[in-house]
Structures are given as C-alpha cells and as structure tokens.
Structure 1
Amino acid sequence: MKENRIRKNAEFRRVYRKGKSFSNRLLVLYVYKNYILKDINRIGISVSKKVGKSVVRSRVKRLIGESYRLNSSNLKKGHDFVIIARTACNGKRYSDIEDSIKNLFNKAGLVIYDEKNIT
C-alpha cells in the first residue's frame, strides 16, 4: 500500500491543479486521471492543523486510510486521489468517515457496481 501513496509536493499540486474536486461536510476529494500508472490508484491524505493537534490529525489520517483500503477494490483503476479532511472530521467515528468517503467516490462516478458491492 505504501507504494500507492502520493508523497511529493509536485504530485499533490498536479492533482489539485488538474484534477476535479468533490466535497461533502467532512471531506474533499480531488481526482486526477493518471495516464502513466493505469493499473493502480494512488492516494494522498491531507489533514490541516485546523483539524486538531497531532494525535487528532493522525487518527483522522488513519481512519481515512483504512476506509480507503477497505473500499479500494470497488474503484476504477488509474487515478490519483487526494483526500482533504475538513475541521468537522474532528471527533467523528469510523463509520461517519467511511460513509463520507463512499459518498464522494459515488459522486465522482468511480465505483464499480456488481452483485457483491451494491452500496
């Protein structure tokens, strides 16, 4: 999973600049079609200091990462995602974050539907 992360500032900037954004109350999702790595998705997670102190920010990052990991098999391949946590994420449960992420991927039209994963 670590090799599927967006880490460099230039990669984040490219997704922000050229990607399309979708948002809800808890999160903002930027999506950019990756024409080089067509068979994998990469994710970057950004949590501002406005969300809380380091313990809170780390927890939010872990919740977002775990929710993405468990739902990534249902997504179309070949995209870069940047997920930005809003201040409302502070104190939310895992189920709230997961519902928010599923909602954003549905808005973006990236969910692959079959008999197993109808949400």
Structure 2
Amino acid sequence: MNFSESLKKTADFHLVYKCGKSVADKNIVLYVRENDSTINRLGISCSKKIGNSVVRHRFNRLIREVYRLHENIFNSGLDIVVVARRCAKDATYFEIEKSFLSLAGKSHLIKNDEVKDEENTYISN
C-alpha cells in the first residue's frame, strides 16, 4: 500500500466510529472519517462471531487486497474502518470487492474524476 498506513490504536478506531460516517451492506460496514494528513489509514475489524482465526484472517487479506488494487482511485486524508458482518465469512473475493467499492462510492471515498465503465468497475480518465 503506497499511499496508506494501518489504523492500529483502539482510540483511533473509536474516534472513527464516533465521528465518522457509516454505510453498510450485507457483507461489510464501512466507516470513513477525515484525518488531518495526506495519507489514508485503513483499519479492519472482524470479531470472533465471524469465525475462527483462519476465517478472520482471510477476510483481512481480502480487504487489504481490494484496497491495494484500487488504492489509486480513493481520496486521500481519510481514516477508513471496515467491519465484517456475519455473511462475509462465506463471501468470495469478488463479492467482497463489489461490496467495498459500492460502499466506497456511497461514502464519497472515490475521487470525482473516476468513472464507472459498463461492468461497474472503476477506471481513470
């Protein structure tokens, strides 16, 4: 991840939960809050209710990969927290990617100059 760091401190997570905007679908909940820097910070939360450590780490890897591949289309200076829902444990990579990108669009996380093509994937102008 070239333009971002990990969100690690519990206090930072709570600040995003408290002061950030949230959007959700059946797989994930996305919280977004502006930070006062030029980089994004990504945090992933996945409780034990989702599954064992193998399932939770798989979800973490999928979210990080989706973010890494689409990092260039996101606005900078944001704290982003992704929370897994129970349906996420059975979701494929493509379902997680679709959920993440659609919620990113709803939360105005995506730059204005990015547009969707016919297959609902984001491309640069």
TM-score (norm 2): 0.87
AA aligned opposite 1:49: K
Is the partner of 2:79 in helix, strand or coil? strand
Is the partner of 1:4 in helix, strand or coil? strand
Is the partner of 1:49 in helix, strand or coil? coil
Extract unaligned runs of 5+ from structure 2. Answer: 116-121
The structural deviation recorded for 1:114 is 3.7
Q: Deviations over 1:22-46 (max 9, x none)?
A: 11110000000002x1x21110000
1:87 counterpart residue number: 86
Between the two proteins, what is the percent identity of the paired residues? 41
Instruction: Find the aligned partners of 1:104 and 1:43 in 2 and give their Cα distance.
Output: 15
Q: Which runs of 4+ in 1 moved over 2 A?
A: 113-116
2:21 counterpart residue number: 20
The structural deviation recorded for 1:81 is 0.3
Bigger fraction of residues in helix = 1
Root mean square deviation, CA, Å: 1.7
Q: Is the 8 A contact 2:27 2:91 kept in 1?
A: no
TM-score (norm 1): 0.91
Extract unaligned runs of 5+ from structure 1. Answer: none
1:117 counterpart residue number: 123
The structural deviation recorded for 1:72 is 1.4
1:97 counterpart residue number: 96
Aligned pair count? 116
The structural deviation recorded for 1:64 is 0.8
1:7 counterpart residue number: 8
